[in-house]
Structure 1
Amino acid sequence: MDEILSNIDVRVEEIVPEQMNVNLLFTYCGQLLPNKLDYYYWNGFRNTRLYEAKDGRGTANFDDMLPTRDFPLYIEVAYTREAENYDSELNMVMNALGEMSFKNKNKTVSMKIQKLAAKEPVVSFELKPETITDKHAVLITDKDSMLSIMSRVEEVLLSGKIEGISDCFTPDGYDMFLTLLSYGKVNLVRKPEYRFLKDGNQTLCKSIPVQFRFTTANNKDFVEDLCFRFTPELKISSVAFTLTRQTENDILRDDKNWDESSKLLLINFLENYQTAYALKRYDYLESIFSDSALIIVGTQLKRTAVSKDMENFVKDNILYEQKSKAEFMESLRRSFKSKNYINLRFEDINMMKKSGQEIYGVQLKQNYYSNNYNDVGYLTLLVDLSEELPVIHVRVWNKNKNEYLSAKTIITRPYGYQLGEW
């Protein structure tokens, strides 16, 4: 572990005095980190709350004065503060053992701006001209119009003033944008570098990097990239948090014999799914689950005794329950009400497409974080993407990666599961 940490470097990419922000690059062996990384730092008065870097980029906020010299930053490895939040017994054990000693988690960040020596390898297919087909090309005139609209969106994110922007959106898109602006305090992290991609009747605009900050205790700050979807009439119809670069690349570079539109379809679905949790879009989630969906959920339990009747359903201190759609949605409604925010992060994906159909089996690692509950596990989904709205037929969560719940298995045996069977 310490050797891995020794190869992680943190440097300043940009200093934004008007926001008292320092934009950071996190690299491993000279390349941007492909997934997430949690860290905190000394702000001149105290150690900060946890921050999360995404795709090798994060921020450091200094509310009163930017540092004039190097400042210390610490990569989170113990998560002792999270243990305090939801498991008193685990917290007692960790206090008794003491904090794990990894000297290389401690970094010194120079305030000298240091760009990467060379651009990282281009791995996303939409950036490779030789792999983009004609159907993904966007007319320059459309790009200019969309850039003008995105410039207005940037102004809103910088100023916090929403007036005069509604004409850029469809009604549903505007509602989503307003909800997003209430998801913590929103800051534009850096000047966006836009990519436009034609996907059927819509055009994807990726992406605006923003930071979400939360003011209440036990919260965590996130950096997210926002994808804006344009209609043919050049109205923004929806907004979504993008997948991590690594997860997107895993889908786009997969050597399965899928056409590009199918891969984009799956990316859009996963982006919409994780965004629906973040924005607590209960009605949308209710609309995409089949009434007869097989739903198995897992909940991380505090370390308490389990009755004999429940032994078959509790493994590794996880309670597994099969729920009807109505039960699942009611549980989700209560969860949304009890949380200040929810943030999902997907990685380690495997997937399969049913031959000749837009039906997908997906298994991926889900990092779930909120102010009062956190877990990491593997989510398996069977989803039909043939219509405008997706239809989820199977949704199973398991603590550990399991071949029995792989994408291949869920495609070939979609309803053959029994609770506790794995």
Structure 2
Amino acid sequence: MNLSLALSAQVKTAVQFGNADNSALQQVIAHNLSALLTEMNTAFVDQRDIRWENIDASEAARNRISTLWNTSRFRCTEALLKENLLRTPGGQFQIRHIPLQLEKEATEEAVITINEQGHIEDLYFGIEQHQYRRLMADGRDLTDFHRRQMILDFLENFRTAYNRQDLELLEQTFSENALIIVGRVINVKPDSPDMMASLGQQKVELIRYNKSQYIDNLKKVFNRNRFIDVRFDNIDIIRHGARKEIYGVNLRQQWRSSTYGDEGYLFLMIDFEDQTRPMVHVRSWQPEKHTTREDVIELGDFDIIK
């Protein structure tokens, strides 16, 4: 079947909530979500930009979604989307696990946030449903549960910021004194004259950057790449024993771009002292191929003095 004919068979996406209460607000939210998803589907088929005239979304949401759209168009694959409407710790609403088809046959699960008036505030790429449920189930208490909800939301925004090459958001994410550690594979030539030994060995050199250096490097990466696709899996969240506002997040990162690709271990130390603005104090990346699990940087490797 011709691709364009197949896609045109499903353009409209209706939205229902599994926890529907038939309130006027929920009806407004469902209508606004359906309008956005249907317009995305239509624009995907027509290979054009999203038209915002009939979509109730904030100006910031329109800009972020349009920027993401310019890196790779996407459509919802469901004619009827039925998911629970969730409440976030910040008082907004959220709908998760929205199946998206991207160009080049890639797939994603999207998250859309909506404010208390029913206006769309953001769309970003989420983590897979089974990971989200596992991580939320590990919450020790109500505070830890809410922090985990915020961490996963933070990670999803953090990841999507790379995909849409949002340098401003990433710069706001790191504290002014943030430590960024990047593992670089180098070749080491041994002293032995043995023929096999002369081929050399590889090891990982850890390079430290401050925030300014890292952002400058990232700007160059964005400038030379038409697209960037960052994905997270194998996520683990640890709360610091003494400093309850500090969390360590270890995960596996897959990076694909128009010029480069790699896989490695990412660590983030996130501070929730100001819950309205979580800050990253440490970001480290180590190449998976040349890093043992024992050598992966984690929260316990740092003495926290505040």
TM over 0.5: yes
Q: Is 1:256 equivalent to 2:140 in the alignment?
A: yes
In structure 2, the residue corresponding to 1:182 is in which secondary structure? helix
1:233: which partner in 2? 117
* Aligned counterparts, 1:84-163, within 5 A: 140-160=23-43, 162-163=50-51
Q: Is 1:409 equivalent to 2:300 in the alignment?
A: yes
Aligned residues of 1:295 and 1:394 also touching (Cα < 8 A) = yes
2:218: which partner in 1? 332
2:101: which partner in 1? 211
Pick from 159, 176, 193 the counterpart of residue 64 of structure 2. 176
Q: Given residue 154 of structure 1, which amino acid in structure 2 is its aligned partner? A: L
Q: Aligned equivalents of 1:275 and 1:389: distance in 2?
A: 17
2:151: which partner in 1? 266
Aligned residues of 1:252 and 1:260 also touching (Cα < 8 A) = yes
In structure 2, the residue corresponding to 1:413 is in which secondary structure? coil
Q: Aligned equivalents of 1:166 and 1:329: distance in 2?
A: 37
Structure 1 residues 252 and 165, CA gap change in structure 2 (3 angstroms): farther
Q: Aligned equivalents of 1:328 and 1:244: distance in 2?
A: 28
Structure 1 residues 16 and 138, CA gap change in structure 2 (3 angstroms): farther
Task: State the Cα deviation string for residues 163-213 of structure 1 (Å, max 9, x = none).
Answer: 344751112111111112212232332333333100131111124322221
Pick from 352, 367, 376 the counterpart of residue 254 of structure 2. 367
In structure 1, the residue corresponding to 2:106 is in which secondary structure? strand
Pick from 8, 15, 19 the counterpart of residue 7 of structure 2. 19
Q: Aligned equivalents of 1:178 and 1:333: distance in 2?
A: 20
Aligned residues of 1:384 and 1:390 also touching (Cα < 8 A) = yes
Structure 1 residues 372 and 363, CA gap change in structure 2 (3 angstroms): same
Structure 1 residues 300 and 139, CA gap change in structure 2 (3 angstroms): farther
Unaligned 5+ segments in structure 1 are: 1-14, 23-126, 130-136, 215-220, 309-313, 416-422
Q: Aligned equivalents of 1:307 and 1:366: distance in 2?
A: 29
2:92: which partner in 1? 202
Pick from 144, 161, 167 the counterpart of residue 276 of structure 1. 161
Task: State the Cα deviation string for residues 119-144 of structure 1 (Å, max 9, x = none).
Answer: xxxxxxxx9x9xxxxxxx97743322
Aligned residues of 2:248 and 2:298 also touching (Cα < 8 A) = yes
Q: Aligned equivalents of 1:352 and 1:278: distance in 2?
A: 26
Q: Aligned equivalents of 1:138 and 1:262: distance in 2?
A: 27
Q: Given residue 140 of structure 2, which amino acid in structure 1 is its aligned partner? A: K
Q: Aligned equivalents of 2:106 and 2:85: distance in 1?
A: 24
1:298: which partner in 2? 183
Q: Aligned equivalents of 2:54 and 2:238: distance in 1?
A: 39
Q: Aligned equivalents of 1:209 and 1:143: distance in 2?
A: 21
CA displacement at 1:370 relative to structure 2: 1.6
Task: State the Cα deviation string for residues 287-335 of structure 1 (Å, max 9, x = none).
Answer: 111111111113467xxx5589xxxxx9845453111111111110111
Pick from 61, 68, 76 the counterpart of residue 188 of structure 1. 76
Q: Is 1:224 equivalent to 2:108 in the alignment?
A: yes
Task: State the Cα deviation string for residues 11-37 of structure 1 (Å, max 9, x = none).
Answer: xxxx99532899xxxxxxxxxxxxxxx
In structure 1, the residue corresponding to 2:158 is in which secondary structure? helix
Q: Aligned equivalents of 1:343 and 1:404: distance in 2?
A: 26
Structure 1 residues 273 and 242, CA gap change in structure 2 (3 angstroms): same
In structure 2, the residue corresponding to 1:368 is in which secondary structure? strand
CA displacement at 1:230 relative to structure 2: 0.9
Q: Aligned equivalents of 1:403 and 1:145: distance in 2?
A: 51
State TM-score, norm by structure 1.
0.58
Q: Aligned equivalents of 1:236 and 1:284: distance in 2?
A: 19
CA displacement at 1:223 relative to structure 2: 0.5
State TM-score, norm by structure 2.
0.78
Q: Aligned equivalents of 1:233 and 1:157: distance in 2?
A: 22
Q: Aligned equivalents of 1:271 and 1:252: distance in 2?
A: 14
1:117: which partner in 2? none
Q: Percent identity?
A: 22
Q: Given residue 19 of structure 1, which amino acid in structure 2 is its aligned partner? A: L
1:288: which partner in 2? 173
Q: Aligned equivalents of 2:138 and 2:260: distance in 1?
A: 33
Q: Aligned equivalents of 2:279 and 2:6: distance in 1?
A: 45
Structure 1 residues 20 and 140, CA gap change in structure 2 (3 angstroms): closer
2:264: which partner in 1? 377
Q: What is the aligned residue count?
A: 274
Aligned residues of 1:193 and 1:207 also touching (Cα < 8 A) = no
